[in-house]
Amino acid sequence: MVVDDLSDPRIVEFLAAHVQQMRAVTPLASKHALDLDGLREPEVTFWSVRDGDTVLGCGALKRLDADHAELKSMRTAPERTRKGVASMLLEHILTEAERQGVARVSLETGADEFFLPARKLYAKFGFDYCEPFADYRPDPNSVFMTRPLSGDG
């Protein structure tokens, strides 16, 4: 697992597949995946998991303020789902968030059946459902979850 600068064409292709998949299962007005420029913003740290030249997964942490960050762009290669990649990545991101002094990590994910495995993963890692945060608004296609980090609950 490495902090990724998003310059490798393989990660660019991997993220393009992510955005394409999100567009296929989520109405455009409810799609909140960051594009490459958004993932390159200074407040975002992006990680990729690779096996040699093959991208297995990715995820990002977007700093919202001094104490709060948002989990973004979690994706596992379809052929590697249910093989522990997402859990390993999520654990790493939460550890890094805590190391950076983040007190709370929140996320937005889809509300329909397609996103159920993701919601179950987040619940397994201690995320609870919450109201929209940051610039999000209530949306029937979105679910919001949050989790305090050490010492905060």
In DSSP notation, 80-103 reads GTTTTHHHHHHHHHHHHHHHTT--
Q: Examine residue 84 and state whether it is found in any structural domain, yes or no.
A: yes
Residue 153 lies in a domain: no
Quick: pLDDT tens for 120-143: 999 999 999 999 999 999 999 999
pLDDT at 14 over 80: yes
Q: Give me the number of domains the chain comprises.
A: 1
Alpha helix locations (H) across 33-84? 36-39
Residues 6+ apart with CB under 8 A from 25: 110, 112, 114
The angle subtended at Cα 38 by Cα 20 and Cα 17, nearest 5°, is 20
Which residues sit opposite 50 in a β-bridge? 55
What is this structure's pTM?
0.91
Q: Mean pLDDT score of the chain, rounded to an integer?
A: 92
Provide the domain limits for residue 32. Answer: 2-148
41 part of a folded domain: yes
Mean pLDDT value across residues 61-81: 94
Q: Which CATH number is 54's domain given? A: 3.40.630.30
Kindly state the percentage of the chain with pLDDT values over 90. 78
88 part of a folded domain: yes
Instruction: Determine, yes or no, domain membership for 130.
Output: yes
Amino acid occupying residue 139: D
